[in-house]
Amino acid sequence: MSNSPLFSGKKIVLGVGGGIAAYKSVELMRRLVDAGAFVSPVLTEASLRFVGEVTFSALGSERARVSLWDEDDPIPHTRLAQQADLIVLAPATADLIARYAAGIADDLLTTTLIATKAPVVVVAAMHTEMWQHPSVVENIAILRGRGVIVIEPESGRLAGGDVGVGRLASAERVISAIEELFAVEGRRVLAGKRVLVTAGGTREAIDPVRFIGNRSSGKQGIAFARTALDFGAEVTLVTTVPVPEGSGVDVVQVESAQEMFEAVSKVSGKCDLVVMAAAVADFRCKEISPTKIKKGRGVPQVLLEPTPDILAHLGSVKPENQVLIGFAAETGELEAEARRKLKDKNADFIVANNVLEGDAGFAVDTNRVTLVYDDSAMALELADKKDIAKKVLSFVAEWAQKKGVWTV
Ligand code: CTP
């Protein structure tokens, strides 16, 4: 691959783990350098059993490093970590993945990983049995939860003549994943903006053990928060579902509609964009029983009262330079209902979806939404929730600039 504007001048730390696929990362490094990136190779001690430091020094943009205790650079990990635009682990062995997931920092590569704010791409390679081991599966899920991009191994011939899933992904696949990452970052359409996102379904207590809840998983809201962060915004996420720490988003954990209302009210006035993706309960118990309601006392009468409508409140106090996005989970009359909510709640956009569709809405990873705004409606194709968030936020940012809601 020849010089590419996406890679040009990008500082990439290439971390090499101790697996047979380490020899393939030489080729990956050469391609990244050819594309214009500045590649700093960092090798683990174990990788040196498979490849030589000299090879990486000769083909990298600077000499390869292995040790934390380098005489001419007293704190190499902080320099590498702070300056990196991206860290790529290739191959990422089961051991390296486990150390990274657990936050163990006992060599130059793992300390660099813990010290960085740059995105990290993990290109896994190991024997099939190891890849499928519950500990590896859990560690991969932990890393994905923190926003790490994981490129899964490919199927094929493995060391020792075995065949199965485990081979390091091709350099083409790794490079196209990095390209996509840089392209998204290149579209920093929310740079300098403050964004508030709500996610998850609220829980309204009946007694100390029971609550009124709903089926929202929070996935779409969390995807909006992550995407807003990727697009350069400063993000507050008010959520009822737990989100791993260290994702770069300011997380406020809440449970009920009232708690969400209070948390949102604290920050909303300062925000350029509010995304009300949470499924807020419309009703709560007028009185919460302080003790568990016992069956023996007969069928209880639970008296409900309305919760505050957070979106409607935000719409009524909306600053001039704020864009307000609401959601509408519908089971019929999608567009008409969304338009009614747009008007009644003074929102700028309603992201509407039909929750009766199996591949859209609650708990699944995909969504099919219609964006209702002004006098228009735009149906987006079925896509990953992260892609939906990207499309909606890109569109909204452009709309806000054109309309003059955002002047910078
Ligand atoms: N919403 C809110 N506070 C509430 C209820 C809903 O902020 N108490 C927000 C949701 O976060 C969503 C939008 O309002 O962005 C629409 O929610 P939805 O439940 O679809 O609409 P409702 O207002 O409850 O209307 P309906 O019951 O008629 O569907």
pLDDT value for 355: 82
pLDDT value for 1: 65
Atom of ligand 1 nearest to the CA of 325: 15
pLDDT value for 235: 96
284 or 385, higher pLDDT? 284
Q: DSSP for 289-351?
A: -SSPPPGGG-SPP--EEEPP-HHHHHHHT--TT-EEEEEEEESS-HHHHHHHHHHHTT-SEEE
Establish whether residue 334 lines the binding site of ligand 1, counting it when its CB lies within 6 angstroms of any ligand atom.
Answer: no
What stretch of H or E contains 105?
Answer: none
* Mean pLDDT on 68-81: 82
pLDDT tens for 78-123 read 889 999 999 999 999 999 999 999 999 999 999 999 999 899 999 9
The answer on pLDDT for 71 being more than 70 is: no
pLDDT value for 81: 93
Atom of ligand 1 nearest to the CA of 308: 8
User: Pick from 38, 29, 42: which is nearest to 70 by CA?
Assistant: 42
Tell me the three state secondary structure of residue 136.
helix
The answer on pLDDT for 74 being more than 80 is: no
Please give the DSSP secondary-structure letter assigned to residue 152. Answer: P
Percent of the chain clearing pLDDT 70 (strictly above):
99
Domain 11-186: CATH superfamily is Flavin prenyltransferase-like (3.40.50.1950)
Q: How far apart are CA 66 and CA 53, in angstroms?
A: 8
Q: Which one of 204, 216, 280 would you pick to mutate in the ligand 1 pocket, going by the greatest count of ligand atoms within 8 A of its CB?
A: 280
Q: Separation of 310 CA from ligand 1 center, angstroms?
A: 8
Q: How far apart are CA 153 and CA 123, in angstroms?
A: 7
pLDDT value for 76: 82
* Mean pLDDT on 68-83: 83
The answer on pLDDT for 341 being more than 80 is: yes
Q: Which one of 261, 309, 350 would you pick to mutate in the ligand 1 pocket, going by the greatest count of ligand atoms within 8 A of its CB?
A: 309
Under the banding of pLDDT at 50, 70 and 90, the label for residue 46 is very high
CB atoms within 10 A of CB 48: 15
The answer on pLDDT for 184 being more than 90 is: no
The answer to whether domain 194-403 has CATH 3.40.50.10300 is yes
Q: Separation of 237 CA from ligand 1 center, angstroms?
A: 18
The answer on pLDDT for 271 being more than 70 is: yes
Q: Separation of 78 CA from ligand 1 center, angstroms?
A: 46
Q: How far apart are CA 113 and CA 119, in angstroms?
A: 10
Under the banding of pLDDT at 50, 70 and 90, the label for residue 6 is confident
The answer on pLDDT for 358 being more than 80 is: no
Q: How do beta strands 323-330 and 349-354 pair? A: parallel
pLDDT value for 79: 87
Active site residue 367: no
Q: How far apart are CA 17 and CA 386, in angstroms?
A: 29
Q: Separation of 282 CA from ligand 1 center, angstroms?
A: 7
Average pLDDT, the chain: 93
Establish whether residue 341 lines the binding site of ligand 1, counting it when its CB lies within 6 angstroms of any ligand atom.
Answer: yes
Establish whether residue 352 lines the binding site of ligand 1, counting it when its CB lies within 6 angstroms of any ligand atom.
Answer: no
Under the banding of pLDDT at 50, 70 and 90, the label for residue 206 is very high
pLDDT value for 151: 97
Establish whether residue 238 lines the binding site of ligand 1, counting it when its CB lies within 6 angstroms of any ligand atom.
Answer: no
Atom of ligand 1 nearest to the CA of 329: 20
Which is catalytic among the residues 214, 321, 346, 354?
214
Domain boundaries, the chain: 11-186, 194-403
Under the banding of pLDDT at 50, 70 and 90, the label for residue 361 is low
pLDDT value for 301: 92
Tell me the three state secondary structure of residue 88.
strand
The answer on pLDDT for 146 being more than 90 is: no
pLDDT value for 249: 92
The answer on pLDDT for 186 being more than 90 is: no
Amino acid in the structure at residue 162: D
Q: Separation of 218 CA from ligand 1 center, angstroms?
A: 15
pLDDT value for 178: 95
